[in-house]
């Protein structure tokens, strides 16, 4: 272990020790003050303490993993000239009502793949008739194979229909918009042939149609994901994204159907069977960013709900499997990472209840007695800690992204990325709840893959709630300086004001974003949105 890796992990370990000490002493203080707090006060203090710690814990974990990714921990060597006999690879491209220009570009990219033993399959998931005829003609033009699914089964279903027909050793999957890099299959096969311990290889995908700031935000979101993937190699928890990846055939079938996040559900299942993958930190394909904020948030809803519910559904199986605690912890944090963005709002909700019910905030063993106002100050301090760690983490994203060819990276893009992500965070509250408590099953006859979200209505509600928190902040401030006599001296108002700003901005955020995300030439109607 080199010095940089050592200090990265040492910092993380020390920070987690401090957080654990804070949690233990605060919980002890809450219990010791049970007579003053009562049952309701103990419960609210405990819930707030939990959400206070979620932010720092998740942010610190992310930061460590991102810097591990930058330092290429777990990187392996492979030789593309050492492949023997070139085992057969089948490339599968699932489509649904796909735009012809988009598919033509992808198939042209497949034609340029340099791997010598390759077959390409396009699986049409029960498209409208006009699309089926045009797509089949286009596929035949390139000499590839076409399979038409007569019953809607979504991405996993159409791949499952094709896979049993194949005699290939490896299965590579690309989305309809992703043009494969010509030599990527060769690299995938070299890794899988020379490192039999890996069951799949996941590559990166970059965007090829970036034209505005919001496209840059989406690209940076992908870079954050891939940077953390590099940090997962050492602990063998690389995530399968369902595209720009190559799997051994024996673990590629069957993919779990009728799930909102089919790829993540499959990852959890094969993980519990002892399989794991490798992350290749190279561009595997060039895809498209989404053409509207409505489509982007619809994707985020599906991904968030799907990942949270997938982990929830498999939790008991995880405990029964022979998975190490370290791997379990990483999958837990990856599955529930949305808590980093949403914990702040849960914390604000509980703080507002504590303020109106006049419940004391108890933190830090005996420190609140020795230092007046100590517990109240912590409610300002902890969010600041999250912000600082979160900012350091995104410096790592900036370092990772600096050499991208997708766009010309500038320093202020990172600031925009952080601010825009913060404004987007409230919209993830709903899918988080759905993932935790909903059924979240896909019904082929009813479910829309990218369901239309009523953004204006949701944003309007958030904005109204934001004004309520603004009023709470004013009342809390006046109370603290003695103009209003309710709770007394307190530090609720900084948190209430921050909550107010982020929520009030929800409606302007949606309105501005809808104008900034312009439709691209690749999408002619709603039906074409599949990936």
Query: Do residues 170 and 87 make contact, with C-beta atoms less than 8 angstroms apart?
Result: yes
Distance in angstroms (rounded) separating the CA atoms of residues 86 and 489: 73
Query: Do residues 260 and 442 make contact, with C-beta atoms less than 8 angstroms apart?
Result: yes
Contacts 24+ apart (CB under 8 A), 230-233: 230/68, 230/69, 230/70, 230/72, 230/73, 230/74, 230/75, 230/279, 230/281, 231/64, 231/65, 231/66, 231/67, 231/68, 231/69, 231/73, 232/65, 232/279, 232/330, 233/73, 233/74, 233/75, 233/278, 233/279
Q: Please give the distance of CA 392 from its chain centroid, rounded to a whole number.
A: 19
Query: Do residues 197 and 204 make contact, with C-beta atoms less than 8 angstroms apart?
Result: no
In 3D, which of 497, 516, 494 has the Cα closest to residue 505? 497
Distance in angstroms (rounded) separating the CA atoms of residues 349 and 332: 24
Task: Please report the pLDDT score of residue 381 as a whole number.
Answer: 64
- Checking if the pLDDT of 367 tops 70, the result is no
Query: Do residues 242 and 173 make contact, with C-beta atoms less than 8 angstroms apart?
Result: yes
Query: Do residues 122 and 93 make contact, with C-beta atoms less than 8 angstroms apart?
Result: yes
Look up the domain containing 257 and give its range: 80-335
pLDDT digits (tens, 9 = 90+) for 125-134: 877 788 888 8
Residue 158 placed within a domain = yes
What is the β-pairing status of strands 118-125 and 145-149? parallel
Enter the pTM of the model: 0.89
Task: Please report the pLDDT score of residue 520 as a whole number.
Answer: 60
Distance in angstroms (rounded) separating the CA atoms of residues 343 and 339: 5
CATH number of the domain at 258, please.
3.90.550.10
- Checking if the pLDDT of 75 tops 50, the result is yes
Residue 420 placed within a domain = no
Residue 203 placed within a domain = yes
Residue 492 placed within a domain = no
Task: Please report the pLDDT score of residue 529 as a whole number.
Answer: 45
Residue 390 placed within a domain = no
Distance in angstroms (rounded) separating the CA atoms of residues 95 and 155: 8
What is the β-pairing status of strands 245-248 and 200-207? antiparallel
Count, residues in the chain: 531
- How would residue 527 be classed by pLDDT, with cut points 50, 70 and 90? very low
pLDDT digits (tens, 9 = 90+) for 371-417: 445 555 565 666 676 677 777 877 888 888 888 888 888 888 888 88
Residue 281 placed within a domain = yes
Counting the structural domains of the chain, the total is 1
pLDDT digits (tens, 9 = 90+) for 128-182: 788 888 899 999 999 999 999 877 788 899 999 999 999 999 999 999 999 999 9
User: Which stretches of 247-373 are DSSP H helices?
Assistant: 249-252, 262-272, 293-320, 325-335, 338-356, 367-370
Strand extents, DSSP E, 78-196: 89-95, 118-125, 145-149, 170-173, 179-180
Distance in angstroms (rounded) separating the CA atoms of residues 340 and 298: 20
Query: Would you report the helix, strand and coil content of the chain in percent, each value rounded to 5?
Result: 60, 10, 30
Distance in angstroms (rounded) separating the CA atoms of residues 35 and 266: 49
Percent of the chain with pLDDT over 70: 91
Out of 120-124, 164-168, 184-188, 440-444, which region has the weakest mean confidence (pLDDT)? 440-444
Mean pLDDT, residues 14-25? 86
Query: Do residues 459 and 505 make contact, with C-beta atoms less than 8 angstroms apart?
Result: no
Distance in angstroms (rounded) separating the CA atoms of residues 243 and 531: 10
Task: Please report the pLDDT score of residue 522 as a whole number.
Answer: 60
Out of 81-90, 206-215, 346-355, which region has the weakest mean confidence (pLDDT)? 206-215
Q: Is the CA virtual torsion 378, 382, 383, 384 positive or negative?
A: positive
489 vs 456, which has greater pLDDT? Answer: 456
């Amino acid at each position: 272990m080199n010095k940089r890796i050592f200090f990265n992990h040492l910092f993380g370990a020390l920070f987690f020790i401090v957080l654990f000490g804070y949690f233990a002493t605060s919980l002890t203080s809450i219990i010791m003050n049970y007579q003053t707090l009562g049952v309701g006060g103990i419960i609210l203090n405990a819930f707030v303490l939990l959400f206070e710690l979620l932010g720092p814990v998740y942010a610190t974990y992310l930061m460590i993993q991102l810097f591990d990714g930058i330092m290429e921990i777990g990187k392996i060597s492979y030789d593309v000239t050492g492949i023997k006999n070139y085992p057969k690879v089948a490339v599968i491209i699932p489509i649904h009502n796909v735009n012809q220009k988009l598919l033509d570009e992808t198939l042209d990219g497949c034609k340029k793949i340099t791997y010598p033993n390759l077959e390409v399959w396009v699986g049409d998931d029960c498209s409208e008739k006009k699309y089926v005829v045009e797509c089949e003609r286009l596929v035949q033009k390139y000499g590839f194979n076409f399979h038409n699914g007569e019953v809607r089964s979504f991405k996993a279903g159409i791949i499952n229909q094709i896979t049993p027909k194949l005699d290939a050793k490896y299965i590579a999957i690309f989305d309809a918009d992703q043009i494969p890099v010509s030599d990527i299959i060769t690299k995938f096969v070299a890794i899988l042939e020379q490192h039999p311990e890996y069951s799949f290889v996941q590559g990166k995908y970059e965007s090829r149609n970036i034209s505005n700031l919001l496209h840059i935000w989406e690209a940076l979101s992908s870079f954050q994901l891939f940077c953390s993937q590099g940090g997962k190699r050492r602990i063998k928890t690389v995530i399968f994204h369902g595209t720009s990846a190559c799997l051994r055939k024996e673990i590629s079938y069957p993919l779990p159907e009728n799930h909102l996040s089919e790829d993540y559900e499959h990852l959890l299942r094969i993980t519990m069977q002892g399989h794991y993958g490798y992350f290749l930190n190279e561009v595997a394909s060039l895809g498209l960013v989404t053409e509207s904020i409505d489509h982007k948030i619809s994707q985020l809803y599906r991904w968030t709900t799907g990942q949270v519910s997938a982990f929830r559904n498999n939790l008991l199986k995880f405990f029964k499997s022979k998975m190490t605690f370290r791997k379990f912890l990483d999958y837990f944090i990856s599955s529930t990472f949305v808590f980093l963005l949403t914990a702040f709002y849960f914390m604000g909700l509980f703080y507002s209840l504590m303020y109106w019910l006049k419940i004391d905030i108890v933190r830090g063993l005996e420190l609140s007695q020795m230092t007046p106002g100590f517990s109240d100050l912590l409610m300002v301090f902890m969010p600041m800690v999250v912000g600082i760690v979160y900012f350091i983490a995104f410096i790592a994203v900036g370092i990772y992204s600096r050499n991208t060819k997708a766009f010309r990276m500038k320093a202020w893009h990172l600031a925009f990325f952080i601010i825009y992500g913060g404004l987007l965070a409230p919209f993830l509250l709903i899918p988080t709840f759905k993932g935790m408590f909903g059924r979240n099953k896909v019904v082929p006859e009813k479910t829309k893959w990218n369901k239309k979200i009523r953004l204006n209505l949701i944003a309007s509600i958030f904005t109204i709630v934001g004004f309520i928190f603004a009023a709470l902040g004013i009342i809390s401030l006046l109370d603290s300086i003695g103009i209003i006599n309710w709770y007394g001296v307190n530090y609720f108002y900084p948190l209430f004001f921050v909550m107010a700003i982020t929520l009030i901005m929800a409606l302007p955020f949606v309105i501005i974003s809808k104008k900034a995300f312009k439709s691209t030439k690749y999408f002619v109607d709603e039906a074409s949105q599949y990936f």
